[in-house]
Amino acid sequence: MWRRPPLLTVAAFAAAIAAGTAALMLPVSHAAGERTEFMDALFTAVSAVCVTGLVIVDTPTHWSVFGQWVILGLIQVGGLGIMTLATVMTLLVTRRINLRLQLTAGSETKSVTLGDVRRVVLGVLGFSLVFEGLTALVLTGRYLAGYDYALGRALYYGLFHAVSAFNNAGFALYSDSLMGFAGDPWIIVPLSLALIAGGLGFPVWIEIWRRRRVRRNARWTLHAKITIAVTAVLLVFGPVMVTALEWGNPETLGPMSVGDKLLAGFFQGVVPRTAGFNSLDYAEVNTQTLLTTDLLMFIGGGSAGTAGGIKVTTFALLAFVIFANVRGERSVTVGDRRLAGGVEQQALTVALLAVGLVFCSTFVLTVITPFTLDQLLFEVISAFATVGLSTGITADIPVGGQLLLCFLMFIGRVGPITLAAALALRTRTRRIEFPEARPIVG
């Protein structure tokens, strides 16, 4: 197992979940008068490590301060990646890195070369801590100036929500998430920037940093161009759609002022990519808004970041494949680059696996629960895409359904391709190629 980085990544995430479950089962982890069942601890640990945000118990009231710190630690570990943290610890202790850890870290951070891993891992850690710190500083100041929090409470709430936002986790220390701050730009905007930054993907930020410091005139990689372009489009599409669809809804944006409507609509259009905060009640939104959010959650954010979904690059590559086939082209070209055949197959595999998992899981939940199809589809995509948004039915789903959601969150965090590679006991090379056939398509 230890010679296979994907399998080691899966095992490390599973170990973190087991450790988190054990810690949350401790009496000191729940508040006075509360009782933590095994399923409560397991579901919360999976949701935290997989940076999802779905909950079956109320985070601020059920868990003690110690339990909330455990959740915060699990979010940080899950966001940065188990193998990234292990590599950093090895660097700090031994000042050197062996080949096995380089391969493992490369699997987690999607690094291109082994020689880059050391800088990549330290850059990921440094950038994450700096961005979380700056966000926490702004939130702390707002809590102090606008809400009269004591300094200790302001620091704690600022840090918790900054880490949760940057890691796209969506855990909040308020029972109604962020509905009480829907019209406060000093809370909403910093959190929006944090979750966008975390969801953009570490390779893109590393390229931005290198271009700024070293090679300002260097070409953008295809990955960075696709990620930035599609992200920009979705950051316009999501807020516009949510704001337009909910503008007159008396249960959501309807009673708000124009400024608050625009702010809340922007936030709820950004959040599905993929942090589970909400400043609107998703139990009251229109069906069209749920469907739009389904699409945004399924696409997700950038590769090798803290966001989930099938990733914007996968979505874009499939669009380019379709465009090339419609035009009758034998190869897929993006700009002045031709895609390798393996990339097309990987994108198709990820998308089809995701569709299959979502369909099968939704079907199972329709059998074992009384909820409507749009509610269950929303819940399933939210779990698989590690978003954490819900219409409020998570706690009422039977234990079997909650275990299914745990499985989806784990798959969504580890990744279909990584998990498939990890489960493969051996690789096979076909030594004989058979004659080509062309079945009728369509």
pLDDT at 214: 62
256-to-174, 178, 243, 250 alpha-carbon distances in Å = 21, 15, 12, 9
Structure-token pair, residue 16: 């973190």
Contact indicator for 390, 59 with CB cutoff of 8 Å: no
- Quick one: tokens of 37? 């069942």
pLDDT at 418: 67
Report CA 326 to chain centroid distance, whole Å.
Answer: 32
What b/e string do you get for 181-197 counting C-beta neighbours within 10 Å, with b at 16 or more? bbbbeebbebbbbbbbb
Once rounded to an integer, what is the mean pLDDT over residues 408-435? 69
On the question of pLDDT at 226 being above 60, the answer is yes
Q: What is the mean pLDDT of residues 35-47?
A: 97
Interatomic CA distance for residues 178 and 390, integer angstroms: 14
Tell me: cis bond preceding 274? Omega within 30 of 0 counts: yes
Q: Please, which pLDDT band fits residue 334 given cuts at 50, 70 and 90?
A: confident
pLDDT at 127: 84
Mean pLDDT, the chain, whole residue set: 86
Number of alpha carbons in the 13 Å side-chain half-sphere of residue 292: 24
Q: Tens digits of per-residue pLDDT, 112-133? A: 455 556 676 777 788 889 999 9
- Residue range 398-402: mean pLDDT, rounded: 97
pLDDT exceeds cutoff 50 at 357: yes
pLDDT beyond 70 at 284 = yes
- Higher per-residue confidence, 332 vs 17: 17
**Which pLDDT band, with edges at 50, 70 and 90, does 348 fall under?**
confident
Instruction: Report pLDDT digits (tens) over 184-222.
Output: 999 999 999 999 998 888 778 878 877 776 656 667 888
422 pLDDT above the threshold of 60: no
pLDDT for position 59: 96
pLDDT in tens, 144-177: 999 999 999 999 999 999 999 999 999 999 999 9
* CB burial of residue 2 (10 Å; 0-12, 13-18, 19+): exposed
Do 190 and 291 form a contact (C-beta atoms < 8 A)?
no
Residues 207/220, Cβ–Cβ less than 8 Å: yes
Residue 1 pLDDT class (50, 70, 90 cuts):
very low
Q: What is the largest CA-CA distance in the chain?
A: 75
Q: Give the burial class of 235: count Cβ atoms within 10 A of its Cβ; 0-12 exposed, 13-18 middle, 19 or more buried.
A: middle
Q: How far apart are CA 211 and CA 215, in angstroms?
A: 4
